[in-house]
Amino acid sequence: MKILILCTGNSCRSQMAHGFLQSFDPSLSVYSAGTKASGKVNPKAIEVMYDAGIDISHHTSDSVDKYMNDEWDYVITVCGGAKESCPTFLGKVKNRLHIGFDDPSEATGTLEFIQSEYIRVRDEIKKIFYELYIDKIKGHE
């Protein structure tokens, strides 16, 4: 099963979702991309995922253009608030889903608060993507 997780920057939320989904089932082919890929994975995202037992330090931030000609079982967008425009994927897709999350890289305030936002969003992504995996993906491989 091929799954593409799509965001704008492909540096934080889509990377976390990619890491979790791959950890739930290593046989899945999981990729992530962005319409305006930043070129690097957010260091705080790497840190909080590592704290959760998942290493995404080897991930790359890729442009969605790299995947336009592929066929996908799922394309899942994870962009969140009203300040963001969610990308549209025009390639061949069996199932399109949107699951929005706040962008922890937009958090401002104390270092403790910013850290807590990364952890909060990470934990939301883990919970919702695990439910998605159990409810929709696991039985349909």
Check if 12 is active-site: no
User: CA 82: distance to chain centroid?
Assistant: 18
The active-site residue, picked from 46, 48, 79, 121, is 79
Q: Which one, of 100, 96, 94, 98, lies nearest residue 73 by Cα?
A: 94
The active-site residue, picked from 86, 107, 119, 128, is 86
- Per DSSP, what are the bridge partners of residue 4? 31, 75
Cβ 2 vs Cβ 70: under 8 Å: yes
Question: DSSP string spanning 91-124?
Answer: SEEEEEEE-----GGG--S-HHHHHHHHHHHHHH
The active-site residue, picked from 4, 7, 12, 54, is 7
- List residues with catalytic annotation: 7, 79, 86
